[in-house]
Structure 1
Amino acid sequence: MAGSETQLTSGDGRSVSRREPGGGLAVALWATLRRDLLLLMRRRSEVLNPLVFFALVITLFPIGISPDPQLLATIAPGLLWVAALLAALLSLDSLFRGDYDDGSLEQLLLTPQPLPMLALAKVTVHWLLTGLPLALMAPVLGIMLSLPAGSYLVLAFSLALGTASLSLIGAIGAALTVGLSRGGVLLSLLVLPLYIPVLIFGAGAVQAAIVGDGAAAHLAILGALLALSLMLAPWAIAASLRISING
C-alpha cells in the first residue's frame, strides 16, 4: 500500500516533503489472516482433528444403529448437523490459546487497529479451515447415510452458513476462557445453548429439502443469524479478550 506524503518546513524556511510508510486497517487484517493461516498450516493436527472426528462419527453411526437406508435417511439431517457442531466445537479452545501462551494476544490488544476487526479476521481463518471443509465434506458423508441426492446442495450451503455463525458465537466463549488452564468444558457449557437455534434451522433446512417443502425459509433464517452474529460477535469477542487479559 502506498504511503502518504507530508509537507514539513525545515529550520531555514524551506518546504520538505516526507513520505510516511503505508499501513492501516487493511494491512493489519491481511497480516492477521496470513499469520494465522501459516500457523495453522504448520499445526495440521488442529485442522485435521475436527474433520477426522466428523468422518468417524458419521461412519460409526450406521454400524451402531442400523444399516437400514430408510432409517438412516430419516436421521441423517440431525446426525450430520450434530456431528458438524461438535466437530467445530472441538477446535474452538485453541482459537486464542496459542496467542495467549506466547504473549502475542497482549500485543494484539495494544495495537492501534480496532480489536473487533482483528478478532473477526482470526475467526475467519477458523471458519476457512474448519467450518468450510466440514460443509464440503458433509455431502460425501451424506451418501453413507442414504441421504437423497436432491438435498446435498442444501446440506452444504446450510452448513457453510451455520458453521460461520458457530465460529463467531464460539469465539466469544473461547475468548472468555482463554486464560483458564482447563477451559474446554466451561467453553462447551457457555456456547452450546447459543448453538441450538443454528442447529434447529440448519437441520430443518436439510429435512425440508428431503420432503420437498423448500428450504428457502430455513436458509434465510440461517443467513439472518449469521448477519446478527457478524454485527455483534466481534465486539463481544473484543470485550471478552480484554476481560480475560486485563481482569
Structure 2
Amino acid sequence: MHFVSRKFSYRRLSSNRSLALAASLAALVAISGCHKKAAPPPPPPPLTNSAPAPTADITANPTSINPGDSVVLTWHTSNATNVSIEGIGEVPSSGTQSVKPADSTNYHLIARGEGGSTDATARVTVNAPAAPPANNMSEGDVDDNLFHQNVKDVFYDYDSYDVRSQEQSVISQDANFLNQHPHLKVVVGGYCDERGSTEYNLALGENRANAAKQALVTAGVSPERLRTVSYGKEKQFCTDHDESCWQQNRRAQFSVDR
C-alpha cells in the first residue's frame, strides 16, 4: 500500500514539473512573438558648407566711348579661388586692366570659391562713328583756279620717276583737298624735259604719272578717281635750254577730269 502511494506521488510530481516546463516555454514563445523589431537609427544630418559665399563687382570707366578709345576695367572679389572675365580670361582676385573694345561689349566677371560662385557685369558702349560732314559742292563749284591753288604739281629728278622726299608734303596737301571733295575726278599727267627720244620720254612720262597716282592712293585717295596720261616731251612749260627750265618740265601735273 505504501509502495503504491509513493509511486503515485512520484508520478504526480513529474506531471507537475512537466506542466510547469510547458507553461514556461509557452510564456517564452508568447513574449518572443509580441516583441517588436527595434527602429533603425535616424540618418545623419546633411553636411553644411560653412565656407563663406564669394562676392564680386566690376566697373568700367568710362562706360561710353568712341571707336579707338580705351576703357579701364576695375574689379574686386572676396572668398574666391578662381576669378575670370569672359573675353579676357583668368585674372587676379582684384585688379584693373585697360581694354579697347571695337564694339559694345559686356564684361562678365565670374568668381568661384568653396562657398559657391557669383558673377557681375560691366557694359561698355562703343558709339557709332560720326558721319563725315556733308559736302554739297558739285564738280562745277570747284573751278580750275581753286583746284590748282590747292592741288600742286610734283617734280622729279632727271631721268627718274621716284617721288622725292621733299615732295611728300605736296602729296599730303593734294590728298587732303581731294579727300575733302570726293566727287572730283582727276587727270594725272606725266611730263618730261626735251632731252631724249620721243618714245623714251612717253614711257618716262607714264611712269611719272603712275608714281604720282600711287602716292595719292597711299595718302587715301581712291584709285577709281585718278586717270593717268603721258605727254612725254610734247608739252613744255618752259622752252629755255637750261637746268632750271628743264626742272619745270619734269613733273606730274593734276587737273580736274571733266
Q: Under a length normalisation based on structure 1, what TM-score does the superposition of the two structures give?
A: 0.24
Q: Under a length normalisation based on structure 2, what TM-score does the superposition of the two structures give?
A: 0.23
Structure with bigger RCO (C-alpha 8 Å, 6+ apart): 1
The structure that has the greater radius of gyration is 2
